[in-house]
Amino acid sequence: MSSLEILKYPDERLKQVSTEVEAFDDALRSFIIKLEVTMRAGPGGVGIAAPQVARFEHIVIVDVSNKPKIKHNGCMILVNPEITEWDGYKIGREGCMSVPDYTGNVMRAERIKLEAFDEHGIKREFECEGYEARAVQHEIDHLDGLLFLDRLVSRKKDLFRRKVYKNK
Amino acid sequence: MSNWYMLNLIGNDQSGIVAQVTSALYKGGSHLGETSMMRLGGNFTMMMMVNLEGSADDLVKIVQPIADKLNLHVHIDSIEGRLHQHIEPNVRVTVFGADRAGIVAQVTGVLAESGMDILDLESDVGGTEDKPIYIMYMEGLAEDGIEALRTALESVRNEGIDVDVEEIETLIG
């Protein structure tokens, strides 16, 4: 199966706010399969959001299970995801298939809890931390029309901010 | 023919340097690539990749009038310019401690021997005049792995310099 075309910044459509999925049908499941193929074909390939392929609905896939030595939930199909709890902050490096050849530092919650529906409309709950939590937040941002470029932080500040957190 | 130059401008910091210099470059028909600009000790330093259909002398003609007006020193090198050649760092090293001569040489010497290629380095002096502290931030590529750096830096830590080595794991989402 071939990959879907990834929208690239400065395509204005990446700023569009997406809407919730209403029908959990075969068309949705078929799209999710294509979305996953597209994610795995990309560099890194740990996450993708439907707006990146010009489908403006609340659909995200995150799978960081190929990274060694980290906690993860396997392949997460997240339809209409909602983050319900945030805890801690950490700066990490991010890039995006929609923003080639540029990476930057972004602050994200270290641990999150979220609710979402799977591709069959069954409600699921997840707890994520670290790299996986970062990936989920990065992808959910796409649903709100936000890119990691909207959240860049200075590198110099990293040093001082991190020390402050350690002292908490 | 389109050529790349590395244009360096340095002078006393004053408001509006960037706007005036880049405006002159733009009006002169040049195009900027990657740049680094920063205030260092009261001086403003600009290092810019500049693309121009013309010679280094043509670039001098574009930039010299504004440099004279702002009292900036100009240096131009012809370079082999290439964009979209970023190397993704996999390690971040932060160093801080009481300032003394030789910290950078010592730390970067250890890092070079342990296989780290520095891609970006910024350092600063803070604290007070009688008790200055030195702070250095680096990103690089650890070719022999992060642990090799941590182990090698123990000798620096033993001398009372705080060194933190952190893996950068870039998420592409």
Instruction: Report pLDDT digits (tens) over A53-67.
Output: 999 999 999 999 998
What gap in Å lies between CA A138 and CA A135, rounded to an integer?
5
Q: Which domain holds residue A50?
A: 12-167
Question: Cα(A39)–Cα(A62) distance, rounded to whole angstroms?
Answer: 9
Give me A14's structure tokens: 């990446």
Tell me whether residue A67 is in a domain. Answer: yes
Q: Which domains does chain B have, with CATH numbers?
A: 2-79 (3.30.70.260), 91-167 (3.30.70.260)
* Residue A6 included in any domain: no
Q: How far apart are CA B153 and CA A137, in angstroms?
A: 34
A4, part of any domain: no
Q: A46 vs B137: CB contact, 8 Å cut-off?
A: no
Terminal-to-terminal C-alpha distance of chain A? 50
The predicted-structure confidence for B52-95, as pLDDT tens digits, reads as follows 999 999 999 999 999 999 999 999 999 998 899 899 999 999 99
Which of B86, B122, B172 is nearest residue A46 as measured by Cβ atoms? B172
Query: How close B169 gets to chain A, by Cα (Å)?
Result: 7
Q: Is A73 a member of any domain?
A: yes
| ipTM confidence score | 0.82
- Domain count for chain A: 1
Strands A75-96 and B171-172: parallel
CATH, residue A129: 3.90.45.10
Q: Whole-prediction pTM value?
A: 0.85
The pLDDT tens digits for A26-56 are 999 999 999 999 999 988 889 999 999 999 9
DSSP letter for B97, please: E
A3: in domain: no
Q: Kindly state whether residue A28 falls inside one of the protein's structural domains.
A: yes
Tokens of A101: 């050849």
Separation CA B154–CA B159 (nearest Å): 9
Q: Which residue in this structure is represented by tokens 């007006």?
A: B69
- Strands annotated E in B58-127: 73-79, 91-98, 116-127
Does a structural domain hold residue A58? yes
Residue A119 lies in a domain: yes
Residue from A86, A94, A87, A99 nearest A153 by CA: A94
* CB atoms near residue B121 (< 10 Å): 13
CB-CB under 8 Å, B122 with A94: no
Q: How far apart are CA A136 and CA A125, in angstroms?
A: 13
